[in-house]
Amino acid sequence: MNPPQPYLSPRGIAASVLAVLLALAAPLASAQQPAVDVSKPRFDGKRAYGYLKKICDLGNRMSGSEGMRLQQELLVEHFTDLGAQVDFQRFQLQRHPLTGNPVPMANLIVQWRPESTERILLCAHYDTRPRPDREANPRLRQEGVFLGANDGASGTAVLMELGHHVKDLPDRYGLDFVFFDAEEFIFGSRDKFFLGSEWFARNYVNEPPQHRYVGGVLLDMVGDAKLSIYQEAHSASWPDTRPLVKEIWGTAARLGVEEFIPRVGYPVEDDHLALRNIAKIPVCDVIDFAYPDRVNRYWHTTADTPARCSADSLGKVGWVIQEWLATKR
């Protein structure tokens, strides 16, 4: 994702205040949701953390790399074994910014109940930044390995674990997990973000499928050991995604998951922009970007490792999404 606007800048405060006012004016979409039975078994955060570590063991997973190919094999096998239909949406970057060679890319689409014409979209990017370009040490910026444990593997790991629970969810809607490639295939300031989600969105418009998405959630950077997820400002202010934000943070409140903070925190440029603005799919962004003092410490550096993520954080995020899906009857 692109860096958010300056945290708590005057412009950011104004946007946040406006979003809060709009959110308060919106009907409480989650008010009629059934109560959550907190005695039920929770989402398995430890197993999700195991998936995160397994992904990071593959090394860097930038678009077109061997690490990405191995990750794709891992995910295809994982979701196929769980009974899902798995397909690739392939596209190509015509010229690598450094080599000039074509770069093959692919969004990975996992479908549950593919016959359903009304569907919910859960998504994450599964590529990593090519280099740890925020490292203070110039040598590490060029030669260090960016594992993307939080920024890349965390959303993927949550969806891998969620796959075990789909069979127990209501079947009113079909459910798609989409893993976007080339979210940040960035080598310089002029390179473009969000290639995979934009390709997906334009394809949805130009070659309309037999189904439609009634809404969705983007998971990004949800594994930090010191988790705090504020409401992303775009998601909280758009009229079509405000109800999703109310539902999800309302679910977190009923579960007692205090890491979902019911206040607008920051506007973030992320994959949900193309999905909502191009494809007109209402998608809200669930992202932890509330730590400006820690961003420079390990975001896009070699320090973004599994050691700075936690099973507890993955478990709480997954549980909230799982229980939110359980209300879609």
Tell me the per-residue pLDDT of 284-326, one tens digit each, with 9 for 90 and over. 999 998 755 444 478 899 999 999 999 999 999 999 999 999 9
Q: Which of 162, 192, 193 is nearest to 176 (CA)?
A: 162
Average pLDDT over the chain, rounded to an integer: 87
Lookup: tokens for 211: 């189904």
For 42-223+274-318, give the CATH class: alpha beta
| The pLDDT value given to residue 186 | 77
Higher pLDDT, 190 or 309: 309
Give me the residues paired with residue 179 across strands.
Answer: 108, 124
Q: Which of 184-188, 219-223, 288-292, 293-297 has the lowest mean pLDDT?
A: 293-297
Q: Cβ–Cβ contacts within 10 Å for residue 27, how many?
A: 9
- Global pTM? 0.87
3-state SS, 226-281, equals CCCEEEEHHHHHCCCCHHHHHHHHHHHHHHCCCCEEEEEEECCCCCHHHHHHCCCC
**Mean pLDDT on 254-259:** 96
- Listed by start position, the domains of the chain span 42-223+274-318
pLDDT digits (tens, 9 = 90+) for 263-276: 999 899 999 999 99
